[in-house]
């Protein structure tokens, strides 16, 4: 079995090819999850990913496969496993190879966990693939965020900036746990409505449906990062929040490494990630016990080097050749 990069991660045997997370429409593609840098209509994907695609790309053109069921695609045996990254995110088993997609062994409130499994070849994402890319414990970061929210919402509303799909719904679930009323933008509501269809009991109100009484009492507004850009016209949701003295924060793993309080119109930042950090990547690779490792997305070259020197496993980066 040959593995290389060509408009996606190609897996080839003597008879045919399949493409994992294709960057253009291909025959026999498989999509790992519904973040926009992975999503491509017309491929095989989990039903959850297809339904999120319906909201984000306005098409549900896909062949679906449930988690844990086996399918044949162009002569390959395929199975989707939980990746713990976002709702519907899958690791993809292809014969004796495993592709992690974006993954998180710690999981979240709105998705499962990535569990390592034995494989001959492991294709692993490298978002935090450099030794200095270490995240604080999730528990600690969550506890900091919750303390901040509790203090702020004693009097005023708060704005929580988060990626529209994945992190925003994690934040809704978290606010529900501490009984802070949640308000969201229409787009985030449309995406979260899909979670509800799959049985997640998430409570939120659309900003467009708030009445005067709702606006008077404290709430957490979940909004996309782009609304928190400095020097841009404030969205109506943010204007209302500021009018009532509300403060804002941004939640992302990258908050561990970049000064977003200077880069965005925010008061605080919290490093909470849906990816494995560098140590998490190495641990996961070791636990899968592969003979060969391929690294992709992010710091692929650096991670392949680290896998060779620290784990003594043959490793090579999958680099974009077109
Ligand atoms: Zn992702």
Domain with 205 in it: what CATH number?
A: 3.40.50.10890
Strands 314-317 and 292-298: parallel
CA distances from 165 to 58, 97, 191, 287 (A): 15, 28, 7, 29
Q: Judge if 234 and 294 occupy the same domain.
A: no
- Count Cβ atoms within 10 A of the Cβ of residue 42 and give its class: 0-12 exposed, 13-18 middle, 19 or more buried: middle
What is the reported pLDDT for 319?
84
Q: Judge if 223 and 301 occupy the same domain.
A: no
Q: Judge if 207 and 148 occupy the same domain.
A: yes
Q: Judge if 46 and 158 occupy the same domain.
A: no
- Over residues 288-318, the pLDDT tens digits come to 999 999 999 999 999 999 999 999 999 999 9
Chain-centroid distance of CA 222 in Å reads: 16
Tell me, yes or no, whether 44 lies in a domain.
Answer: yes
For residue 14, the CA-to-ligand 1 centroid distance in Å is: 31
For residue 101, the CA-to-ligand 1 centroid distance in Å is: 8
Tell me, yes or no, whether 66 lies in a domain.
Answer: yes
Helix axes 186-197, 167-177, angle to 10 degrees: 80
What is the reported pLDDT for 14?
85
Q: Which two tokens stand for residue 117?
A: 């499994």
Provide the domain limits for residue 171.
Answer: 138-270
For residue 296, the CA-to-ligand 1 centroid distance in Å is: 13
Tell me, yes or no, whether 122 lies in a domain.
Answer: yes
What is the reported pLDDT for 231?
82
For residue 123, the CA-to-ligand 1 centroid distance in Å is: 15
What is the reported pLDDT for 227?
95
Taking a C-beta distance cutoff of 8 angstroms, is the pair 13, 64 a contact? no
What is the reported pLDDT for 322?
43
Residue 46 belongs to a domain with what CATH number? 3.60.15.10
- 4-24 burial, b if ≥16 CB within 10 A, otherwise e? ebbbbbbbeeeeebbbbbbbe
For residue 102, the CA-to-ligand 1 centroid distance in Å is: 5
Q: Judge if 163 and 213 occupy the same domain.
A: yes
Q: Judge if 142 and 63 occupy the same domain.
A: no
Q: Judge if 186 and 220 occupy the same domain.
A: yes
Which one-letter DSSP state was computed for residue 30? E
Q: Judge if 156 and 256 occupy the same domain.
A: yes
Tell me, yes or no, whether 60 lies in a domain.
Answer: yes
Q: Which residue has the tokens 């400095």?
A: 230
Our count of domains for the chain comes to: 2
Q: Which residues sit opposite 55 in a β-bridge?
A: none
Q: Which two tokens stand for residue 299?
A: 């710091």
Q: Judge if 75 and 106 occupy the same domain.
A: yes
Tell me, yes or no, whether 279 lies in a domain.
Answer: yes
Tell me, yes or no, whether 188 lies in a domain.
Answer: yes
C-alpha span between 157 and 151 (Å, rounded): 11
Tell me, yes or no, whether 142 lies in a domain.
Answer: yes
Domain boundary among 255, 270, 285: 270
C-alpha span between 193 and 318 (Å, rounded): 36
What is the reported pLDDT for 321?
58
Percent helix, strand and coil across the chain, each to the nearest 5: 30, 25, 45
- Count Cβ atoms within 10 A of the Cβ of residue 148 and give its class: 0-12 exposed, 13-18 middle, 19 or more buried: middle
Return averaged pLDDT per consecutive 10 residues of the chain, 322 residues in all.
95 94 96 97 98 98 98 97 98 98 97 97 98 95 96 96 98 97 97 98 97 94 95 91 96 97 96 97 98 96 98 94 50
- Over residues 3-62, the pLDDT tens digits come to 999 999 999 998 899 999 999 999 999 999 999 999 999 999 999 999 999 999 999 999
Q: Judge if 120 and 11 occupy the same domain.
A: yes
Q: Judge if 190 and 218 occupy the same domain.
A: yes
Q: Judge if 123 and 8 occupy the same domain.
A: yes
Tell me, yes or no, whether 322 lies in a domain.
Answer: no
For residue 201, the CA-to-ligand 1 centroid distance in Å is: 23
């Amino acid at each position: 079995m040959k593995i290389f990069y060509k408009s996606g991660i190609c897996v080839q045997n003597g008879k045919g090819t399949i493409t994992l997370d294709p960057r253009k429409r291909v025959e026999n593609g498989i999509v790992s999850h519904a973040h926009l840098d992975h999503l491509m209509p017309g491929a095989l994907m989990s039903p959850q990913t297809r339904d999120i695609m319906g909201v984000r790309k306005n098409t549900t053109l896909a062949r679906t496969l449930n988690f844990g069921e086996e399918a044949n695609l162009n002569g390959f045996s395929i199975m989707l496993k939980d990746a713990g990254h976002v709702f519907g995110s899958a690791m993809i088993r292809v014969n004796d190879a495993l592709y992690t997609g974006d993954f998180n062994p710690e999981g979240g409130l709105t998705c499962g966990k990535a569990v390592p499994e034995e494989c001959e070849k492991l294709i692993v994402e490298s978002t935090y693939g450099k030794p200095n890319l270490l995240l604080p414990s999730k528990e600690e970061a969550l506890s900091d965020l919750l303390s901040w929210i509790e203090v702020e919402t004693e009097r005023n509303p708060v704005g929580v900036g988060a990626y529209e799909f994945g992190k925003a719904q994690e934040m809704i679930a978290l606010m529900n746990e501490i009984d802070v009323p949640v308000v969201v933008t229409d787009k985030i509501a449309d995406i979260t409505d899909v979670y509800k269809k799959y049985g997640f009991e998430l409570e939120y109100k659309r900003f467009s449906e708030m009445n005067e009484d709702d606006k008077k009492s404290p709430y957490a507004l979940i909004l996309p990062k782009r609304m928190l850009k400095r020097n841009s016209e404030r969205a109506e949701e943010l204007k209302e929040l500021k009018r009532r003295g509300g403060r804002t924060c941004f939640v992302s793993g990258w908050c561990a490494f970049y000064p977003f309080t200077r880069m965005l119109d925010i008061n605080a930042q919290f490093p909470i990630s849906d990816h494995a950090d560098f140590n998490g990547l190495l641990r996961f690779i070791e636990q899968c016990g592969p003979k060969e490792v391929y690294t992709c997305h992010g710091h692929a070259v650096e991670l392949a080097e680290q896998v060779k020197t620290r784990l003594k496993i043959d490793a090579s980066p999958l680099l974009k050749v077109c």
